[in-house]
Amino acid sequence: PKALAILGGGQLGSMFTLAAKTMGYSVVVLEPDGRAPAARFADKHLCAPFDDKNALAELAQCAAVTTEFENVNADAMRDLAAAMQVSPSSDCVAIAQNRILEKSWIRKAGLETAPYRVIQAASDISSECEPLFPAVLKTAMLGYDGKGQIRVKTLAQLQAAFATLGNVPCVLEQLVDLRAEISVIACRLDDERIATFDPAENHHENGILAYSVVPARLPENLLSAAKQMAVRLANALNYVGVLAVEMFVVGDEQRLVVNEMAPRPHNSGHHTMDACASSQFQQQVRLMCGLPPADTRLLSACCMANILGDVWGEQGEEPNWAAVLNHPQAHLHLYGKAEPRKGRKMGHFTVLADSADEAYRIAQSLHQQLKFQ
Ligand code: ATP
Ligand code: MG
Ligand code: MG
């Protein structure tokens, strides 16, 4: 078995590393943080910046490289492509890391986005923005977990928000009438060999994913349309690897609008490890090795709940792990991060149940019991 490489060693890199090792590969992780989760499992941890020439040269000895986050240096990935299999491609990563490119590609694929305008500079703020109000201004790059976005209702607020976000390129998006949020994870090798996991129904708290319920409690035709949309986008991008597509269900007519994508496994796909015939991380391994996607079938209704640093006590007291550990339907995953902080993703658990409703109810109850008090 050959060595595989990954850019980034957070929890996604960690779960990738475990999947790859189970499948017989050794794994090299490039990650500047010496205490990152994947460092515990990697055969080799190159502890260096993502553009470090020596580290990249060593990484290039591996058979293939993938990424666990979108903010890698797309140029470094382009260079690596001369020496090894790179998936997803640097072009796809460059698109997914910039909302301006991302939105234009979504539309190019024939899919709907929320109405928007690009704001490159303060001079792009004019009365032409007004039809979008109430709207949300999002930085084109680097935003996550609802950071890097501000809601605005007037031109004055828009001007202030643009300055607050640092006068950097942004997208001004109309606020749509959200009825539900779903995500589809597509696993693509080529046009013929592409699979999707069933859409997850996502619930956020304070801008951070809190619960993903699968199957999503929405009409079957809407869910199959969502899967087709993800396939269409992956094909348009000639994407190789695991692609997560976030969508909004909008208005009484339940229109599907694409919000954004991630060129990697996604938090809303963590249930696949416990509730599906294959996990999104096994798929990432297979696809980077040129293997076709494995069976994506959902084997049980489930609900994934994120465990944030918020469930620890103010003085760092441990949460009530027994609540989750003693529940026969709950599967606990902890990422091994040293310092719990508010809003920091420390782990998750997945509850399997006879129905989505029941899984969601149990997960909410266990999450409540988990909190230190
Ligand atoms: P992520 O952590 O998912 O990458 P992010 O910081 O990139 O988050 P978005 O996913 O674009 O941000 O937006 C965060 C949340 O804000 C969405 O999940 C949705 O609940 C809400 N939201 C974003 N854009 C809109 C919109 N145009 N209309 C209504 N709600 C929106
Ligand atoms: Mg995002
Ligand atoms: Mg999002």
Distance between CA atoms of 85 and 63, rounded to whole angstroms?
7
- Dig out the tokens for 3 from the structure: 């060595």
In short, whether 146's Cβ falls inside 6 Å of ligand 1 is: yes
In short, whether 134's Cβ falls inside 6 Å of ligand 1 is: no
In short, whether 176's Cβ falls inside 6 Å of ligand 1 is: yes
Cβ count within 10 A of residue 62: 21
* pLDDT score recorded for residue 124: 97
CA of 24 to the centre of ligand 3 (A): 33
CA of 277 to the centre of ligand 1 (A): 29
Is the ipTM here above 0.85? yes
CA of 146 to the centre of ligand 1 (A): 6
* pLDDT score recorded for residue 1: 57
Q: Which residues surround ligand 3, an ion (CB under 5 A)?
A: 246
Which parts of the chain register pLDDT below 70? 1
Predicted TM-score (pTM) of the model is 0.97
